[in-house]
Amino acid sequence: MAFENITLPESGEKITMGDDGTLNVPNEPIVAFIEGDGIGPDIWSATQKVLGTAIEKAYGGERKLAWMEVFAGEKAWNLYGQGDEAWLPDETLAAFNEYLIGLKGPLTTPIGEGFTSLNVALRQKLDLYTCLRPVKYFKGTPSPVKRPQDVDMAIFRENSEDIYAGIEWPAGSDDVKKVIKFLQDEMGVTKIRFPESSGIGIKPVSSEGTKRLVRAAIQYAIENEQKSVTLVHKGNIMKYTEGGFRNWGYEVAKEEFGAVEIGDGPWCELPNGIVIKDCIADIALQQVLTRAKEFDVIATLNLNGDYLSDALAAQVGGIGIAPGANINYDTGHAIFEATHGTAPKYAGKNMVNPSSMMLSGAMMLRYMGWDEAAGLVEKGIMGAIQAKTVTYDFERLMDDAVKLSTSEFGGAVIDHMDDAAISGEEADQYDELAAKFKELFESGADKTSEVAHVAMEKAREQLTHAGAFTEEQGQKLKGFLERDFGQIATNVRNEAKIKLNPARLGHGALASISSLLQAAGSALSGAAVKTGASLSCRSGEITSAGTLTCKDCGHSMHFKKTGRIPPCPKCHKTDFTKGY
């Protein structure tokens, strides 16, 4: 179809839905996007680069996205005539209808009177009945709870009904008076405590709306090998709406998936072992905090889902790192979105966290079947966080972190896509080797450079023989240990033998032998000469605690414990010197 202000990309093909209910995704699909208001342009720019790079790395140029900008919010209002209908133009809805999949930034949503939330309007007009909010902890993310790593669940929030349907009338209006009169006169309602000053809203919940949501949640649990689906509701109070949701949810499990009641019910179990259970909403809000491991997939109504998804996001770092999608699994239509607001005071400052938008983009890639590219996006974000190269919202909550702009963080994410597998096990193996070396080195009478290197080799041999790591891993870790030991020896020599403060070595076995190194003094000075060029550190290597300084731009990174070296967060180069 022809559009007024939407420009089709020069190349690309439509994504379609097959008769069998599967998506047909070409190698260059046309994907609609809404840049968003406020901070939208900043996070969109970073996200577009990250997604493009991930796709290039994953598929070597054989696949790419053909982006097509569509308009909503303030940008649309200025472009389409500044009327009420301009906030969400008809051709934007038509474009999403035709091209199925899109990615969007945050849109202006005034509180109180005014136009309806554009986010809600998009969901309702396109019948995107499922709001999918996966919540997962990325190691290293600052969190206010003790065990954020226990949170790993997906929330299926019903999008089309509940009080978000927007059926309400303001207090004192002629319409609300009609509704109250009807309730009192025709329905015999006597429980409106202050009828003269009450606003009234209606909460529609249907069996059809409930069943399609719960059906999608159970199917997701099956496909992703989850252990349970929990129906969260307030059926103890709202028996015919929230209670109906609970009952209809169990019906779907039994009638369509062959679930059988456990004991006296109502909990039931699918033939593959997935348990379908329910939980009162206020109890669920407690237990996702205190018993997070008991929840895998949650299916719930609109308002409960809103509360739960944002509360869970707070446990794993906040909505700045929380992705989301609005999906109609029957038609294939899906819009993936940043879950936070427009943050107008930060607009154009290039400082906010783009992770929500990036991870929503990764969700989109998985929905399209491009799992490899999605994995690179997630890997890059995880690597940047673990390297403590983050935007201001995380930097202020982390020790020795480097504050990056939005665009710089995008660059860091791209850099970490090429990381070798980030593994705490490797750091532990390094520390185990260092501890064994310390034991052997301390037991000898002489404390020379030669004795130290013999002790390192013996430590490697013993741990390799014991199965702590492979021969190849042992040789690599020994090389890192020799490098770090030589660097410490250099500092001992350069600081008049005894001025090296043990606290500057951080934690680990190398730090614990600092006094021994000081006592050895000049006898170890040869270690620096022997290791020679190996005193340089490179991205991807393991290093003990210390300060790494980029050889290119001079930026410093501080390690308090053993870890993998990231690229420089400022210039993205990979060579460093090390000090203490």
Contact 533, 575 (CB under 8 A): no
SS3 state at 12: coil
Token readout for 460 is: 């490697």
Distance of alpha carbon 334 from alpha carbon 131, whole angstroms: 10
Residue 150 annotated in active site: no
Composition of the chain by helix, strand, coil, percent to 5: 45, 15, 40
Sign of the Cα pseudo-torsion (72, 77, 78, 80, in order): positive
Nearest Cα residue to 216 out of 257, 180, 185: 257
Give CA separation, 338 vs 37, 43, 55, 357, 364, in Å. Answer: 11, 9, 20, 4, 12
Sign of the Cα pseudo-torsion (263, 266, 270, 276, in order): negative
152 DSSP assignment: E
Catalytic residue among 127, 152, 282, 310: 282
Biggest CA-to-CA distance, the chain:
100
Catalytic residue among 137, 164, 250, 580: 164
- Name the H helices within 302-353: 302-315
SS3 state at 341: coil
Contact 444, 492 (CB under 8 A): no
How many residues belong to the chain? Answer: 580
Sign of the Cα pseudo-torsion (159, 162, 166, 167, in order): positive
Q: Left (φ > 0), alpha (ψ -120 to 50) or beta: where does 483 sit? A: alpha
SS3 state at 394: helix
Distance of alpha carbon 253 from alpha carbon 410, whole angstroms: 42
Distance of alpha carbon 327 from alpha carbon 304, whole angstroms: 18
Nearest Cα residue to 201 out of 320, 302, 336: 302
Token readout for 501 is: 């403060």
Number of neighbouring beta carbons within 10 Å of residue 166: 12
Residue 234 annotated in active site: yes
SS (H, E, C) 191-203: CCCCHHHCCEECC
Residue reference for tokens 């994907």:
31
Catalytic residue among 75, 234, 277, 438: 234
Token readout for 469 is: 């790591």
The packing angle between helices 371-386 and 355-367, to 10°, is 160
Give CA separation, 312 vs 151, 293, 308, 318, in Å. Answer: 8, 12, 6, 8
Catalytic residue among 127, 152, 306, 393: 306
Catalytic site residues? 164, 234, 282, 306
